Amino acid sequence: MTELRIAIVGFGKIARDQHVAAIAATPGATLAAIASRNASLPDLPHFATIEELLSKGPPIDAVSLCTPPQVRRAQAASALAAGKHVMLEKPPGVSVSELDPLIAQAERSKRTLFATWHSRYAPAVEPAREWLAARRISSVHISWKEDVRVWHPGQTWIWQPGGLGVFDPGINALSILTRIMPRPVFVTAATLSFPSNCEAPIAADLTLADATGLPITAEFDFRQTGPQSWDVIVETDGGRMTLSGGGRRMAVDGKVLSEAPDAEYRELYHRFVELAATGAADVDLSPFRLVADAFMLGKRTIVEPFVD
pLDDT confidence of 220, banded at 50, 70, 90? very high
* Structure-model confidence comparison of residues 43 and 139, the more confident one: 139
CA dist., res. 115 & res. 285, Å (int): 8
pLDDT confidence of 257, banded at 50, 70, 90? very high
The domain ranges of the chain are 4-115, 119-261+292-303
In contact, 287 and 175? CB cutoff 8 Å: yes
Degrees, nearest 5: CA angle 241-247-249: 60
pLDDT confidence of 105, banded at 50, 70, 90? very high
**Mean pLDDT value across residues 196-221:** 98
**Mean pLDDT value across residues 272-281:** 97
Q: What is the mean pLDDT of the chain?
A: 96
**Mean pLDDT value across residues 122-144:** 97
Entry pTM:
0.95
Q: Given the residues 13, 56, 84, 90, select the one marked as catalytic.
A: 90
Residue type, 262: D
pLDDT confidence of 2, banded at 50, 70, 90? confident
Q: Largest Cα–Cα distance in the chain? A: 60
CA dist., res. 277 & res. 172, Å (int): 27
pLDDT, tens only, 154-179: 999 999 999 999 999 999 999 999 99
The CA dihedral of 220, 69, 160, 230, to the nearest 10 degrees, is: 10
Check residue 1 and give its pLDDT: 53
Q: Quick one: 4-115 is in which CATH superfamily? A: NAD(P)-binding Rossmann-like Domain (3.40.50.720)
Check residue 262 and give its pLDDT: 87
* Ramachandran angles phi, psi of 59, nearest 5°: -60, 125
In contact, 143 and 203? CB cutoff 8 Å: no
Q: How far apart are the first and last CA of the chain?
A: 47
Residues for the chain: how many in total? 308
Residue partners of 185: CB distance under 8 A and separation at least 6: 177, 178, 208, 209, 210, 214, 216, 290
Degrees, nearest 5: CA angle 88-200-68: 25
Residue 56 a catalytic site member: no
CA dist., res. 155 & res. 248, Å (int): 26
Could you say which architecture CATH assigns to the domain 119-261+292-303?
2-Layer Sandwich (3.30)
**Mean pLDDT value across residues 293-302:** 98
pLDDT confidence of 33, banded at 50, 70, 90? very high
